[in-house]
Amino acid sequence: MLQERVKILVVDDDASIRNMLSIVLKNSGYVPTAVESSEVALLNLKNNQFDLVISDIKMPGISGIDLLKKIKMIHPEIPVIMITAYASTNDAVEAMKLGAEDYITKPFNLDELKLIIDKSLYKKNIEIENIRLKSQLTEKEKFENIVGKNHRMQKIFELIDTISQTDSTVLITGESGTGKELIAKAIHNKSPRTKNAFTSINCGALPENLLESELFGHMKGSFTDAYKDKEGLFEQADKGTLFLDEVGEMSQKMQVKLLRSIQERKIRRVGSNTEISVDVRIISATNKDLQEEMRNGNFRSDLFYRLNVISINIPPLRERKDDIPLLLNYFLKHYNQQFNRTIEGFEKEVMNIFMNYSWPGNIRELENIVERTAALEKNQFIGLYSLPVELVYNISDKKNETADFNQMLIEGDFDLSQYIDDITKRIVIKALDLNNWNIKKTSEVLKLNYRSLRYLMEKFHIKER
């Protein structure tokens, strides 16, 4: 950070101190703004950007300590240096505990003050750089558009690199919302076929006759509404890749036709006797257990073995929770750009909920939650009140919740007061939500007086809707 760009806010009720600091800072290449009170300082902080604050501790009205608290709530990234006329250890210790970067006593040495300023700004720059570096996904953490540092995902990335150079058919398995199509696209994009088409179809979304027409095409007049010849996805994907999503939903009749096309590398349009040669790599996906489907007679074994030359199983999000922070930052960055927002991250308690939730909808559910919260949130960090109620109050299955609770007790990492506060906050938010945020009605439901509920809302930073 260049000194001429560094803006420093000086807060002191003593005009002589303000003037002296303004001159010293200006001569040192900084851009100072000097104000006489905490109240004026807060207005300046609201309307302007500052890189550092220097504040007296003892001032009339809002004290320097209280100003420090407010700054750390509003702009936690701004370093604050406290000045006191009293060599009071208590004042200095309290200020440091509350987040002050350093302190200096009056009368102070100007060289010492300059040294503290430079040290504080240097530390701030290092912290900003660390945050920036942490927010950037490494190549191993971001593979194509797939985010993951979990060891199982790293194995999948290695496998994709290997199999992308072959034409082997691939079967991708995993629960809904785990990103099976992204894996298929990554294989295609890294393969020699990348310059040609990647086409996809959900086999469970269409009835049998329409699915056949979509895959193989049809001739004019072959059925009602066939007004002209149509090229199917196999032809469109020639020299490229065809992705068959939810292949386990395919009927027995369609399974036979698909098997023949894969074996012979030829297709026949609906209503035609002419065979068309195609060069297509098949990648399929399913959330079903196809071996169980074979045992039940629902899926052909010969087709299964044709599709399952190479298999990739994507773990559900609940089994790769170390990827959740990466995914959250990835999606938040995306929706910040889409909605023209500048949300910086997630409050700690929100992150705890995300880490303890079972995510039955996997990554798709997580992305939907981030999109919703990014659209609703009005503050710098996404708070609890922006989350859907069902997420807040069903954060995990009881077995996992008990295991986490026991682990905290064993490790001595359990804070009873914080635990009770968390429960109280969730109950208050749920009650408010169920009563359409009518505070009077909610206080009656909770058997609290109106003032007590207001107090809890202020304590837990619950804003009215």
Phi, psi of 312, deg, nearest 5: -130, 125
- Mean pLDDT, residues 205-216: 90
Which among 385, 431, 73 has a CA at the least distance from the CA of 439?
431
- Mean pLDDT, residues 323-348: 91
Please give the Cα distance from 93 to 95 (Å, whole number). Answer: 5
Output phi, psi for 215, to 5 deg.
Answer: -75, -45
Q: Return mean pLDDT, the chain.
A: 86
* pLDDT level of residue 403 (50, 70, 90 thresholds): very low
pLDDT at residue 189, rounded to an integer: 92
The answer to whether residue 1 scores a pLDDT higher than 70 is no
CATH number of 3-135: 3.40.50.2300
**pLDDT tens digits, residue range 44-76?**
998 888 999 999 988 899 999 999 999 988 888
Q: How far is CA 147 from CA 41, 141, 329, in A?
A: 42, 6, 10
| pLDDT in the model for residue 411 | 63
Which H helix or E strand runs over 84? strand 80-84
Quick one: tokens of 28? 């040192």
CA distance 61 to 55: 14
Show the tokens assigned to 212. Answer: 């056949």
pLDDT digits (tens, 9 = 90+) for 269-318: 999 999 999 999 999 999 999 999 999 999 999 999 999 999 999 999 99
Average pLDDT rounded to a whole number, residues 143-158: 86
Please name which of 365, 367, 289, 359 lies closest in space to residue 319, comparing C-alpha atoms.
359
pLDDT of 404 reads 52
CATH number of 317-391: 1.10.8.60
Taking the C-alpha atoms of residue 379 and residue 161, their distance in angstroms, rounded to an integer, is 41
Where in the chain do CATH 3.40.50.2300 domains reside?
Answer: 3-135
Share of the chain above pLDDT 70, in %: 89
Other CB atoms closer than 10 Å to residue 22's CB: what's the count? 16
Q: For residue 321, name the pLDDT band (cuts at 50, 70, 90).
A: very high
CATH homologous superfamily of 147-315 equals: P-loop containing nucleotide triphosphate hydrolases (3.40.50.300)
Integer Cα distance of 454 and 461 in angstroms = 10
Beta 381-382 vs 275-277: how paired, if at all?
Answer: unpaired
Query: Has residue 229 got a pLDDT over 80?
Result: yes
- At 2 the pLDDT is 44
Is-above-0.85 flag for pTM? no
Delimiting residues of CATH 3.40.50.300 domain(s) in the chain: 147-315
Give the DSSP letter of residue 192: G
Confidence of residue 190 (pLDDT cuts 50, 70, 90): very high
Q: What is the pLDDT of residue 376?
A: 85
* Between 158 and 458, the higher pLDDT residue: 158
Interior angle at CA 119, CA 65 and CA 99, nearest 5: 25
Task: Give CA torsion, residues 108, 112, 113, 114, to 10 deg.
Answer: 150
Delimiting residues of CATH 1.10.8.60 domain(s) in the chain? 317-391
pLDDT tens-digit map of 362-388: 999 999 999 999 998 888 889 877 887
pLDDT computed for residue 396 by the predictor: 40
pLDDT per residue as tens digits for the range 13-40 = 989 999 999 998 988 889 999 999 999 9
pLDDT at 266 over 70: yes
